[in-house]
Amino acid sequence: MLTKQTVKFTKSLQNKKFRRLYNQFIIEGEKSVLEVLSSDFKIQKLLVTSYFHAKYKELLAPFSGIIELAGDTELDSIGSLQSNDAAIAVCAVNEVLLPETIKGEWVIALDNINDPGNLGTIIRIADWYGISKIICSEDTADFYNPKVINASKGSFLRVKVHYTDLSAFLKQQRVSVYGADLHGENIHTASFKEVGILVMGNEAHGISEGVKACITQMLTIPRFGQAESLNVGIATAICCDRIKSAQSV
C-alpha cells in the first residue's frame, strides 16, 4: 500500500500548478514507464504493482531511486488512466533550451493548441515523420500534462517541445514558414524546401493574426466532401506527409 503522502503528492502532479511548483510530472502505464527507464529523464520515484515488479525485476535492479509497491487498484485512483495495473514514474522536468534559429530541419510550430490530447497526438506525428522539435506558443497546452504524455505514446521522449512568444520567434527565422489555413495554396500542388517551419493554429480559431504576419505561405488541404473541418492532429499528419513526400521526389 502506498503512503498517504505519496498518494497526495502523485495526485497533485495532475495539476499544472503543482507540476511547476515541484518541477516534476508523472508517466503512466507499462510501456511508457519501461521506455522512460532507458531515457535521459531522471526518475525520482517508481510506484509499481507486484505484477510489474516481478515481471521486470532484473530491469529494475539497477534503478537507484525509490520504488514503492502499490495495490492493484491504487494506481487507477491516483493517475489519469482508466486502468493501470503496472506502474507510475514520478520524473523530474527536463530543461529544454529553445534554439535561436532553425537550421537544416523541418520544425512544427503550434499556435494556441488547447487540447492536451491534440498536442500529444501531434508529438506522436512529429516523431513518426522524423521531426524532432515543436515550438509552441505560451498558451498551448502543457507538455507535461498527463493527457499529453499518454497521447504521445512514448514519443515525448524523442521530440523536444519548447514554449515561447511564437510570433517573436518566427520573426527571427530565415527559413520559409508555412501555415495551415482554409484559404491558401493547395497543399498537393505546393512546393516545399528542404528546411522550413509548419504552423498549425488553434482548434476553433486557426492561426492568430500576429503569427499570420510571420507566415511566408498559406497552405490548404482541399475538401472533397461535406465535413466542416479537420481535427488539428489529422491536419498536421496530412501536412507532414505532403512535405516529406515532396522532399523524396
pLDDT score for 18? 97
CATH superfamily label, 4-92: Ribosomal protein L30/S12 (3.30.1330.30)
Domain ranges within the chain, ordered by starting residue? 4-92, 106-248
Residue 72 has pLDDT above 80, yes or no: no
Residue 81 has pLDDT above 90, yes or no: no
**Total-model pTM:** 0.94
Of 22 and 247, which is predicted with more confidence? 22
How much is the average pLDDT of 117-142?
98
pLDDT score for 108? 98
Grid cell at residue 29: 502505464
pLDDT score for 110? 98
How much is the average pLDDT of 232-237?
97
CATH 3.40.1280.10 holds for 106-248: yes
**How does the average pLDDT of the chain come out, rounded?**
94
Q: Please say whether the beta carbons of 91 and 41 come within 8 A.
A: yes
pLDDT score for 127? 98
SS3 label, residue 237: helix
What pLDDT, in 10s, does the model give residues 152-204? 999 999 999 999 999 999 999 999 999 999 889 999 999 998 999 999 999 99
pLDDT score for 239? 97
Q: Please say whether the beta carbons of 105 and 195 come within 8 A.
A: yes
pLDDT score for 248? 66
Residue 45 has pLDDT above 70, yes or no: yes
Of 97 and 238, which is predicted with more confidence? 238
Please state, in angstroms and as integers, the Cα–Cα distance from residue 230 to each residue in 12, 75, 221, following that order. 34, 35, 9
How much is the average pLDDT of 106-117?
97
pLDDT score for 247? 77
Domains 4-92 and 106-248 share a fold: no
Q: Which helix (H) or strand (E) holds 189?
A: none
pLDDT score for 83? 86
The pLDDT-based confidence of 249 (bands split at 50, 70, 90) is low
The residue among 175, 103, 182, 167 whose CA lies nearest residue 135 is 167
Element counts in the chain: helices (H) and strands (E): 11, 10
Q: How many CB atoms lie within 10 A of CB 66?
A: 12
pLDDT score for 229? 87
Instruction: Say how far apart CA 62 and CA 55 lie, in whole Å.
Output: 15
